[in-house]
Amino acid sequence: MPQGQPLSVPDDGLSTRARRRQPVLAVHTGAGKGKSTAAFGMALRAWNAGLRVAVFQFVKSAKWKVGEESAFAALGRAHDEHGDGGAVEWHKMGSGWSWSRKQGAEADHAAAAAEGWAEISRRLAAEQHDFYVLDEFTYPLKWGWVDIDEVVATLTARPGSQHVVITGRDAPPALIDAADLVTEMVKVKHPMDAGRKGQKGIEW
């Protein structure tokens, strides 16, 4: 696969090197499979480049756990013990975030989602990580739990070269407009349509 050639070269006065360090805002949306999976695949690549990776999962249940979390825990240990790749943090909303005093104490998902975004916003301002995955973040946006205009303003103004990948169905148009890279995952065929069950190692 050859590296892509730009269709045009912008007259922005930047060197090629400077352009290679520009931060990317990516959105994976659509009803097909692979939105989160591709985001974690990107995080793998980022980890290998030595970037500090942080995953924030806006999932409803703390019990819901994906295999990727364990795999990234192993990569995080490889970083801590052998200096391989970048550092890894993995946070799940569940019924409260790991950094929150309210952890496990409540089931107010709207408040938890807003708190998650507030923390991400603080970390972006502090340039705490290099590569952020905001998994299933389109849902709190869709449901109005987090204000889309504030999210777009914060992401657009984020300092440094922090990359952000947002996943979930029904990405708001304002988010798509702000993004550099948008892929829609379209379902062509899914085994559950034929009545098949999820497969261990495939679905979770």
Span 25-44, contacts to a copy of itself by CB under 8 A: 26, 28-30, 32-34, 36-42, 44
Size of the site for a copy of itself (CB under 8 A): 82
Residue 7 engages a copy of itself in binding (rule: CB under 8 A): yes
Site string for a copy of itself, 73-112 (x = CB under 8 A): -xx-xx-----xx---------------------------
Contact of 141 with 149, CB cutoff 8 Å: no
Strand, coil or helix: what is 131? strand
For residue 187, the minimal CB distance to a copy of itself (Å) is 6
Q: What is the Cβ-side half-sphere exposure of residue 201, based on CA atoms within 13 angstroms?
A: 0
For residue 157, the minimal CB distance to a copy of itself (Å) is 18
Residue of the chain from 13, 55, 59, 62 that contacts a copy of itself (CB under 8 A): 59
Q: What is the Cβ-side half-sphere exposure of residue 159, based on CA atoms within 13 angstroms?
A: 8
Contact of 127 with 161, CB cutoff 8 Å: no
For residue 125, the minimal CB distance to a copy of itself (Å) is 21
CA 203 distance to own-chain centroid: 19
Contact of 91 with 99, CB cutoff 8 Å: yes
Contact of 169 with 30, CB cutoff 8 Å: yes
Query: Across-strand partners of 12?
Result: none
Span 112-171, contacts to a copy of itself by CB under 8 A: 130-131, 136, 163
Residue of the chain from 13, 83, 173, 198 that contacts a copy of itself (CB under 8 A): 198
